Amino acid sequence: MDYLPFTRPTFDEETIQGVAEVLRSGWVASGPHVLALERALSEYLGGRPVRTFTSATGALEVALQICGIGPGDEVITPALSFAATPNVILRVGAKPVFVDVELATRNIDLDRAAAAITARTRAIMPVHFAGLPVDMDRLYELARTHGLRVIEDAAHAIGASWRGRRLGSFGDIVAFSFHPNKNMTTIEGGALSVNNEEETKSIEIHRFHGIAKDSDGEMDVVLPGGKYNLSDVAARVGLGQLRHLEAFNAGRRELVARYFEKLRTAPPLMLPARGDEGHGWHMFTPLLPLERLNLTRKAFIGEMDRRGIGVGVHYPALHLFSAYRGLGYREGQFPNAELIGRSTVTLPLFPAMGARDVDRVCDAAAEVICQGGK
């Protein structure tokens, strides 16, 4: 049987041909395809300005910069995410203030976020974990009450929606990732959805060397900007992906429904919150009941690998990593993030899978867990 990775991108022949055309066109850096992708994403997100980047990491860093967030500022963020989320906060000189997540949703606990607000808090950077939207009503209510910016890390959540509205079609600044593991890809890439033209201008300046042009077209360098512009080759891939995004996400939902059905009884995995039809299902991440098993997570992953199935870990709790411990965090501080970090496993989920693949994963997991049962 073929090896089943935990994720894999799907490219159609038309996109592959389209990339070849871009390569032959003589213009491969940022150009007409980047503009076309930004227009298409904007249309998908209800008309808000959208600007693309070489990664979501770069996009998030620029988002913090255009908000003027830097040394002395605090940004509230979940203790469970990919390292990019707190890294960009540190890179602009601000402090990531970690808050525990809810066990079932893996999303930031908004009561704890409210309790973590100080006079130095400038922004909240929530993560829509695995594509499940954070409670947007409560999030924005909290931000309004305390005058905070919201920079949504929606790296997992392109196509997800809250009460029928797509993430990125409303709110403050919303960042998406187009890494090949995500729900759509530009190979490497990302985007910001913004709610006003003035900040869009500022984003363009920060994205490309700090270069601004005045009304006569005279160029000036107004700040030491970065270099985060997407290539036309990458944008052409993204245009081909966006066309399938709704179908990709529908496929993910169907596979997850199968997982829930199969795993309702055995093996005894702790399933994540189901959400509603707005869930983007970027990943399927149950928890292993480690306290009931004579089996480590590492052994589970190894046994699944031996059966031709790739299993990932998303993610170890952030505050226990060396780069953040120095900020004064310690073990035991965020019990939900730590429990998830210790016991989470990412089972295969990508649109090209079929129901039989889900069954194969569930049968293998049952076998491994049964053998490891106490």
- Known catalytic residue: 201? no
Residues in the interface with ligand PLP (CB under 6 A) total 14
Q: Is residue 81 near ligand PLP by the rule CB under 6 A?
A: yes
Contact status, residue 52 vs residue 38, Cβ threshold 8 Å: yes
Q: Is residue 179 near ligand PLP by the rule CB under 6 A?
A: yes
Instruction: Give the one residue of 50, 56, 110, 151 binding ligand PLP; rule: CB under 6 A.
Output: 56
Q: Is residue 34 near ligand PLP by the rule CB under 6 A?
A: no
Instruction: Give the one residue of 156, 258, 319, 360 binding ligand PLP; rule: CB under 6 A.
Output: 156
Q: What is the DSSP letter of 75?
A: E
Contact status, residue 98 vs residue 186, Cβ threshold 8 Å: no
- Comparing CB distances to ligand PLP, the nearer of 154 and 364 is 154
Which of the residues 313 through 332 are near ligand PLP (CB under 6 A)? none
- Comparing CB distances to ligand PLP, the nearer of 42 and 81 is 81
Q: Strands 121-124, 95-99: parallel, antiparallel or unpaired by DSSP? A: unpaired
Cα(35)–Cα(6) distance, integer angstroms: 32
Contact status, residue 60 vs residue 67, Cβ threshold 8 Å: no
For the bound state, the minimum distance from the C-beta of residue 146 to ligand PLP, rounded and expressed in Å, comes to 24
Q: Is residue 177 near ligand PLP by the rule CB under 6 A?
A: yes
- Nearest Cα neighbor of 272 from 252, 286, 260, 256 is 286
Contact status, residue 77 vs residue 90, Cβ threshold 8 Å: no
Instruction: Give the one residue of 153, 172, 232, 338 binding ligand PLP; rule: CB under 6 A.
Output: 153
Which member of 95, 182, 227, 262 is catalytic? 182
CA distances from 239 to 16, 154, 158, 159, 214 (A): 11, 19, 14, 15, 31
Helix axes 13-25, 232-242, angle to 10 degrees: 160
Candidate segments 27-35, 151-159, 160-168, 241-249, binder of ligand PLP by CB under 6 A: 151-159
Q: Is residue 82 near ligand PLP by the rule CB under 6 A?
A: yes
For the bound state, the minimum distance from the C-beta of residue 282 to ligand PLP, rounded and expressed in Å, comes to 8
Q: What is the DSSP letter of 292?
A: G
Cα(243)–Cα(12) distance, integer angstroms: 10
For the bound state, the minimum distance from the C-beta of residue 61 to ligand PLP, rounded and expressed in Å, comes to 10
340 membership: H or E segment, kind and range: helix 335-343
- Phi, then psi, of 166 in degrees rounded to 5: -65, 140
Candidate segments 38-46, 133-141, 152-160, 322-330, binder of ligand PLP by CB under 6 A: 152-160
- Comparing CB distances to ligand PLP, the nearer of 83 and 211 is 83
For the bound state, the minimum distance from the C-beta of residue 217 to ligand PLP, rounded and expressed in Å, comes to 33
- Phi, then psi, of 317 in degrees rounded to 5: -60, 135
Q: Is residue 84 near ligand PLP by the rule CB under 6 A?
A: yes
Candidate segments 1-9, 50-58, 269-277, 348-356, binder of ligand PLP by CB under 6 A: 50-58
Contact status, residue 99 vs residue 112, Cβ threshold 8 Å: yes
Annotated catalytic sites, by residue?
Answer: 182
Residues engaged in binding ligand PLP (CB under 6 A)? 55-57, 81-82, 84-85, 127, 153, 155-156, 177, 179, 190
